[in-house]
Structure 1
Amino acid sequence: MPKKHKLAATHAKLWLLGLSISALLGGCVSSEDAMLEPVSTSAEKPLVSPSREAIGQSVTQASFHQPARVGPYEIFDPKALSVLDVSAPIDVLATGFEWLEGPVWSSVDNVLLFSDIPTHKVYRYQEGSGVSEFLSHSGFSNGLLIDNQQELILLQSRSRQIARLRLALSAAQRQAFTPDDYHVLVDNYHGHKLNSPNDGVLSRGGTLYFTDPPYGLPKQLDDPAKELDFQGVYALSPSGVLTLLDKSLKYPNGIALSKDEKSLYVAASNPDKPAWYRYSLSDDGKVKHRELFYQASVIGGESHGLPDGLKVHASGFIFATGPNGIWLFDPSGRLLAKIHMPSTSANVTFNADQSKVFVTAHHQLLSFNLKP
């Protein structure tokens, strides 16, 4: 039996026993993982392809030695059913955009804000009213955040900066807003222009963690305007001090904090090594060490998408966009479920009570309900 098939067979046996394979693969890491101790290297593909007979039967009664598939929901572990409602449809809320990103819920007026990067706009969605334009000059924003002062923070990918805007501005003031009117929080590291700020997350104390891949540069890694020789994961303190946390990832992308803010999750959109990583944080928010959280297989065939945006639910589970849709993990790095999406999913967020998931998916804005 070829070595890779023996490894797969061993993996399957361990999976059925509920054991981790990380002890066997601890030394099998690439250069990106040279400093890591893998948390989980479980293969994300089903051990047995879900059968059509599984569709329609009670998921709680299905055997979890093979995933159960109910419509778009592929369940790997029954723990997923504590939050997922497999009867909930995937709703298309709006379509016709170019590339959606950065969804964030605003509790000020109970609306969803999201970026359409190529069109230089931010839109708002309100249940019952639909979609309307919120900002006509977004600075080519990608990620959006709302801070404790109810100000909108925009990670402006093509403007290569992170800026702030008061949400209290009137519609007329917002429409007249130009890129020069933004208050810039950060645009360089040690005098070198940032690559293309992508996604971020705010701690309760106001520290902004963000990623800086090359996606906003026309030629990305080879762009002549690129001033940094790495793609960083950073922390920006409330006083404006910028700290580089990691410069070893080729394409750092989505980023999220655990509920206790002791772990920082980062998606790596490297097509040669798609993965998610976890950084352990000290009490002052500094990185103690990094580890592989979950390794996806190299994307091919009919798969669409890479690890991208992610958010942590009140349950502690991680909703992460990845190949073919949303991947649901528990904090230990175990894959609980996948929610298959009709188009490439870039990012996710929740409404105020976290009973609904919003997904920015290429040209579509999607949503699905969770269990209350």
Structure 2
Amino acid sequence: MSFYEAADPLFSTYVLGNAPVKQLATGFDWVEGPVWFGDANCLLFSDIPNNRIMRWTPGDGISIYREPSNYTNGHTRDLQGRLVSCEHGTRRVTRTEHDGSITIIADSFEGKPLNSPNDVIVKSDGSIWFSDPHYGIMTNYEGFKSKQELPCQVYRINPDTKEISAVVTDLDCPNGLAFSHDETKLYVADTGKIFDENANRLIRCYAVEGNNVDDGTDFHTVAPGCADGFRLDEDGNVWTSAGDGVHCISPTGKFLGKILVPETVSNICFGGRAKHQLFITATTSLYTITLNRSGIQKP
């Protein structure tokens, strides 16, 4: 049985026949937020319900990076290589300094507590963009059940003034985020309000101009499942989570093919020596596959 399905012949050139999907670790409850640290040769990711950040290192395997982690979800690195994290439990975005101390970057907007920051990315101007759906406060599974005081939005943090502004306000529950390589496009996943079977679930694409985005357009709807988290490769293809694996979408929104994974995928990231290794967080496990494609990653 093949580990992939190609809807377009082009996708067959993206995969390598002798590079299968491999399970690197398992036994978690719900894993998300993978981020590659090339200088440390390791991958960090969140095991959210178990309130910990895990670390996978080639040759050494799995270890605990931080416990408790305040129910962290998404992670990225800033321009100085520091870990930036979304915390459900404390409803904030934090930065881990080089000395290990933690700095609070954002925990409120217009005097009200954030919902539960979910995914985070950093632009080349140093601004931090994060999504703030309500998933971490609707139950006690991935945080603490709490009152929602703000709409679910995407925010931008000014790198100079630290001012927080709402930049995407038209989605039910914005989730995964990614910029195009030239940062002229912002892709945002809307995974819908929790417990709402009729909620919109799709990827929207917004044109970026400076600190602002336009009204956006519908880019792609993943099926089965939904686009929770995604990253882009060197050609602008979007590699996104789905209910049956990882889907590859062209820059025009065309479905090219899928990598089959035996668990529901939550997030992905590129890593390895040439950014050609796709790391996949999927329900209870961490997987990887080596591709004939490299991801874009900053720094």
TM-score, length basis structure 1: 0.72
Amino acid at match of 1:258: S
1:187: which partner in 2? 107
1:258: which partner in 2? 180
- 1:310 corresponds to which of 213, 217, 230: 230
Q: Which runs of 5+ in 1 are unaligned?
A: 1-69, 170-180, 298-302
DSSP 3-state at the match of 1:217:
helix
- C-alpha displacement of 1:264: 0.4
DSSP 3-state at the match of 1:346:
strand
2:189: which partner in 1? 267
More strand by share: 2
- Provide, for residues 41-69 of structure 1, a one-character-per-residue CA deviation record: whole Å limited to 9, x for no partner: xxxxxxxxxxxxxxxxxxxxxxxxxxxxx
- Provide, for residues 214-248 of structure 1, a one-character-per-residue CA deviation record: whole Å limited to 9, x for no partner: 0100349xx652111x2101111212121111222
CA distance in 2 between partners of 1:369 and 1:296 (Å): 23
CA distance in 2 between partners of 1:224 and 1:75 (Å): 43
- 1:209 corresponds to which of 126, 129, 138: 129
1:360: which partner in 2? 281
Amino acid at match of 1:257: F
CA distance in 2 between partners of 1:129 and 1:167 (Å): 23
More helix by share: 1
Q: Are the aligned partners of 1:313 and 1:354 in contact in 2 as well (CA < 8 Å)?
A: no
Tell me if 1:331 matches 2:247. Answer: no
1:20: which partner in 2? none
CA distance in 2 between partners of 1:279 and 1:290 (Å): 4
CA distance in 2 between partners of 1:360 and 1:182 (Å): 25
Q: Are the aligned partners of 2:44 and 2:55 in contact in 1 as well (CA < 8 Å)?
A: yes
1:322: which partner in 2? 242
2:213: which partner in 1? 287
Q: Are the aligned partners of 1:151 and 1:167 in contact in 2 as well (CA < 8 Å)?
A: yes
**Greater Rg over alpha carbons, structure:** 1
Cα RMSD after superposing both structures: 1.8
Aligned residues, how many? 282
CA distance in 2 between partners of 1:113 and 1:193 (Å): 27
DSSP 3-state at the match of 2:219:
strand
Where does 1:138-217 land on structure 2 (aligned, <5 Å)?
138-169=69-100, 182-217=102-137
CA distance in 2 between partners of 1:224 and 1:200 (Å): 22
- 1:233 corresponds to which of 154, 159, 162: 154
- Provide, for residues 285-321 of structure 1, a one-character-per-residue CA deviation record: whole Å limited to 9, x for no partner: 3102300001345xxxxx5x42201011122211110
CA distance in 2 between partners of 1:81 and 1:205 (Å): 36
2:297: which partner in 1? none
- C-alpha displacement of 1:250: 1.2
TM-aligned CA distance change 1:167 to 1:360, over 3 Å: farther
- C-alpha displacement of 1:369: 0.8
- 2:41 corresponds to which of 110, 126, 144: 110
2:67: which partner in 1? 136
Give aligned-pair identity as a percent: 32
Q: Are the aligned partners of 1:314 and 1:354 in contact in 2 as well (CA < 8 Å)?
A: no
- 2:54 corresponds to which of 118, 123, 132: 123
CA distance in 2 between partners of 1:348 and 1:75 (Å): 19
CA distance in 1 between partners of 2:66 and 2:115 (Å): 23
- C-alpha displacement of 1:322: 1.8
Amino acid at match of 2:205: R
Q: Are the aligned partners of 2:120 and 2:129 in contact in 1 as well (CA < 8 Å)?
A: yes
Q: Are the aligned partners of 1:150 and 1:166 in contact in 2 as well (CA < 8 Å)?
A: no
TM-aligned CA distance change 1:204 to 1:196, over 3 Å: same
- C-alpha displacement of 1:138: 1.3
Q: Which runs of 5+ in 2 are unaligned?
A: 294-299
- 2:166 corresponds to which of 234, 244, 247: 244
TM-aligned CA distance change 1:121 to 1:96, over 3 Å: same
Amino acid at match of 1:197: P
- Provide, for residues 99-123 of structure 1, a one-character-per-residue CA deviation record: whole Å limited to 9, x for no partner: 1111000122111011111111111
TM-aligned CA distance change 1:219 to 1:117, over 3 Å: closer
Q: Are the aligned partners of 1:326 and 1:341 in contact in 2 as well (CA < 8 Å)?
A: yes
Q: Are the aligned partners of 1:93 and 1:365 in contact in 2 as well (CA < 8 Å)?
A: yes
- Provide, for residues 263-297 of structure 1, a one-character-per-residue CA deviation record: whole Å limited to 9, x for no partner: 00011112533211100011x13102300001345
- C-alpha displacement of 1:81: 3.0
Amino acid at match of 2:203: W
TM-aligned CA distance change 1:345 to 1:167, over 3 Å: farther
